[in-house]
A and B are shown apart, each in its own frame.
Chain A
Amino acid sequence: MSTITLASKRRRSALRTIAFMSPWLIGFAVFFAYPLISTVYFSFMHYDGFKPPTWSGTKNWTYVFEHYPYFWPALRNTLWLVVVMVSLRVVFGLGVGMLITKIKTGTGVFRTLFYLPYLAPPVAATMAFAFLLNPGTGPVNSILEKVGIPAPGWFNDPAWSKPALTLLALWGVGDLMVIFMAALLDVPTEQYEAAELDGASAWQRFRFVTLPNISPIVMFAVVTGVIQTMQYYTQPLIAGKVASGVIQGAGTQFEPGYPEKSTLTLPQLVYNLGFQRFDYGSACVVALVLFVLSMAFTAILMRRRGGLIQAGD
């Protein structure tokens, strides 16, 4: 009798737990599990969005990895942006945050000045940068030429297009600046005082006091930066289109990644394959590659962060 009562209690407890978790479970099932399972399923199907899907085995995977001419350039570009752009954004955001927490006067003005660009709509900001960095008529190159510095081709030069996108990302670093400022102001001042009494230099104070205290925020900035960069779509697309001078319309063709595929990113391929070629199966393959890469980067970062903390302890 007591066994039955215990089992019944456990069952009721489990049901209660599930009931409390149900909003999350429903959200997880609808917004994560279903799309993910669907994506895996469609990656093995031939599906044009109109006719019912048909089994195609590994054809889509073979096509994307072996025959789709944009995949490898897009993957290389995405990895370049993840490594270079995310790193520089975090370093620059932290630097600006530290600078603003240190200055005594005009903090509000500088904070506003650095934060405002982040609020600019990405399309408008990218078009403005394409204008500023126009190799023929842009003011940046005019100034560089006047002071005798060789002017790059920026968005018109495959070697300079990604650095130009990185500049654009650094300009809009206001989001990171704000969270770094909050983290920096939270570091206990007595730890700095103790370090100073121990004769720690400015670098040592940063390395052994500031960094360990703000490391969860650094990790947050890096992980969200990686995710955002994996989904980097609007800026490279607009920059490439504006710089190429070709506005897509009747009779013009989608030219991904101008110049010479250098601004091509994986999300652009999902759009190109899914919505322009009507090849949803191959689009799902690229989406899964993005998913796996995002997970891999996050796993690596989590492990590396453990090492960072130990070194700082």
Chain B
Amino acid sequence: MPIPSAARKTAFALTAAASSLALLTACTGQSSSGASDDASANTTINFWHAWSAPNEVKAVNALIAGFEKAHPNIHVNVVSNMTDDKINQALRSGGDKAPDVISSFTTNNVGKFCSSGALVDLNPFFKKSGIDPETTFPKAMNEYTQYDGNRCTAPLLGDAYGLYYNKTAFKKAGITSPPKTWTEFQADAKKLTINQGDSYKQLGFMPDYHGWETTTEHYAAQFSPTYFTADGKSNVAKDPAFTEAFTLQKDLVDELGGFQKLEKYRATLGDEWGDKHPFQTGQVAMQLDGEWRLGMAVDAKTKFDIGVAPLPVPDDQVAQYGKGYITGTIAGIAANSKKQNAAWEFVKYITTDTDAVVNFSNAIHNVPSTLAALKSPKLTYDPRFKTFLDIAANPNSTTSPASINGGVYLATIQNFGYDYESGKVKDLKSGLAATAKQIDTDIAQAK
């Protein structure tokens, strides 16, 4: 039964069309344009943001209501629940329905937003308004909102990372205070670990890089790393901060039972965002996490007292105890927008107006993103939340800098971390050198 020629050709055509069409739609686009507009004229701007939970959307709407009250001529058309992928598409295409102002949950794309010109440089706007970003925003937030001198975004609330600990478990283990150094932390983690067969009744700390927030950059932040040299090359192989951070994590993995045992235990744990989070259930006694965990743990009605402290520091950096990793939400103005001056009034209000920032922070329990708001008496919070306010305001707190290819360098470091913690790669020095080389190659490709 020979195959008819028409059937064969049809099969080829179908194969070709199906395998190419779905994959090739990305390959179109255009560049940006500028505009000058009268911010005192009656106008409507489009604002796209990522918040989606009902309480968050309500808070955003209240923020906008405050702005419209202060600027009755500027109306804000809001679109919520927007991911970076959708925002990118809209920034490329432009048009009347495209956003004039965008807000993103991640700082990963700041480098691309700035270097590509998708978002406008806000420096001239800050200057025109007489606002100095250096004295307005915390140091780390200043850093992650710009790339190569181009400040194309402004911080809109932030996240600070600290240590949560089970006070009841601490008391049982005879530990009187949270650890301040990694040496103390290692000892406490071992003391708090209670084995049960080939698993754990209670694990002192889940060190694996897949343990949600125990990522390479969150560990490394406590060692104050410098990710790139002045000429933009990766510094991971040269800065001893990375060697120390990787060594610390590997030591924790080995001391707490080894990678296989920990991974097997990790697979039994609840998810990060549910009530069965292992810190909340008491399965893990210490947790590296962001400020949002406090509210979630309180809501989960844990059966123990929750303690909050800054993450430990290396033994030779005790003077810097109190620092942490900082990241957060960002806001920017689309280069395609024809209403950039009106858009700036909005961005200025939501990112620098102290009362607006404070009220927004109170509503969604994120860390305020201006130095004035961090000190505002109008802030309402659980006393333990103060730890995160202090971490955010700490000048020694660090972040991961913006890069031209987004968070690729962080993913590369994290991937090396997976190989190192599992024992797949044993030579840390050569592994870090290969990681640095890969980061440099990826950045060269992006330029």
A residues engaging B (CB < 8 A)? 31-32, 35-36, 38-39, 42, 47-52, 59-60, 63, 67, 69, 134-137, 153, 156, 212, 215-216, 219, 223, 226-227, 230-231, 243-247, 249-255, 258, 260, 267, 270, 274-280, 282-284, 286-287, 290-291, 293-295, 297-299, 302, 305-306, 309, 313
Contact = CB atoms under 8 A, between A and B. Distances in A.
12 contacts: A31-B17, A32-B13, A50-B32, A63-B445, A136-B267, A223-B15, A227-B14, A252-B215, A276-B408, A277-B442, A291-B19, A298-B11
A250 B400 CA distance: 13
Given A50-B31, A251-B106, A302 B8 contact: yes
Interface string B211-233: 11101010000000000000000
A249 B105 contact: yes
B406 to A, nearest CB: 7
Pick the most buried of B15, B27, B268, B408: most chain A CB atoms within 10 A of its CB: B27
A253 B410 CA distance: 7
A245 B118 contact: no
Contacts of A38: 24, 27-28
Given A51-B117, A245-B272, A67 B441 contact: yes
B26 A283 contact: yes
B376 interface: no
B116 A278 contact: yes
Contact of A267 (B23, B88, B290): B23
Contacts, number: 204
Contacts of A284: 24, 27
Nearest to A254: B411
Contact of A306 (B2, B105, B213, B415): B2
A246 B210 contact: yes
A255 B212 CA distance: 12
B129 to A, nearest CB: 26
A278 B106 contact: no
A52 B24 contact: no
Nearest to B325: A251
Contacts of B265: 136
Given A49-B92, A227-B15, A275-B26, 9 more contacts: A32-B13, A35-B24, A39-B24, A253-B414, A278-B88, A278-B405, A279-B446, A290-B23, A302-B3
B418 interface: yes
A244 B415 CA distance: 13
A245 B17 CA distance: 36
Interface in B278-313: 290
B3 A306 contact: yes
B327 A250 contact: yes
Nearest to B327: A251
B268 A48 contact: no
B29 interface: yes
A137 B29 contact: no
Contacts of A275: 26, 85, 88
Contacts of A246: 210, 212
A303 to B, nearest CB: 10
Contacts of B446: 48, 277-279
Given A231-B22, A245-B272, A246-B212, A277 B408 contact: yes
Interface string B185-227: 0000000000000000000000000111101010000000000
A287 B8 contact: no
A230 B8 CA distance: 19
A226 B1 CA distance: 22
B271 to A, nearest CB: 7
A278 B87 CA distance: 13
Contact of B212 (A52, A60, A245): A245
Contacts of A60: 445
B445 A67 contact: yes
Interface of B: 1-3, 8, 11-32, 85, 88, 91-92, 105-108, 112, 116-118, 159, 210-213, 215, 217, 263-269, 271-273, 290, 327-329, 405-408, 410-412, 414-415, 418, 422, 424, 438, 441-442, 445-446
A50 B159 contact: no
A137 B15 contact: no
Contacts of A50: 29, 31-32, 91-92, 112, 116-118
A297 B18 CA distance: 14
Contacts of A51: 31, 116-117
Nearest to B23: A287
Contacts of B32: 50
B15 A35 contact: no
Contacts of B272: 245, 247
A71 to B, nearest CB: 13
A231 B19 contact: yes
A215 B1 CA distance: 9
A24 to B, nearest CB: 10
A77 B272 CA distance: 29
Top 4 A-B pairs ranked by shortest CB distance? Answer: A136-B268, A50-B116, A294-B19, A136-B267
Contact of A298 (B1, B15, B26, B213): B15
A48 B273 contact: no
A245 B8 contact: no
A58 to B, nearest CB: 13
B411 A253 contact: yes
Contacts of B412: 69
Contacts of B106: 249-251
A295 B20 CA distance: 11
A282 B442 CA distance: 11
Given A32-B17, A247-B273, A279 B8 contact: no
Contact of A279 (B16, B29, B418, B445): B445
A21 to B, nearest CB: 14
B51 to A, nearest CB: 11
A69 B438 contact: yes
A281 to B, nearest CB: 9
A258 B85 CA distance: 22
Contact of A287 (B24, B267, B406): B24
Contact of B12 (A35, A137, A295): A295
Contacts of B441: 63, 67
B60 to A, nearest CB: 16
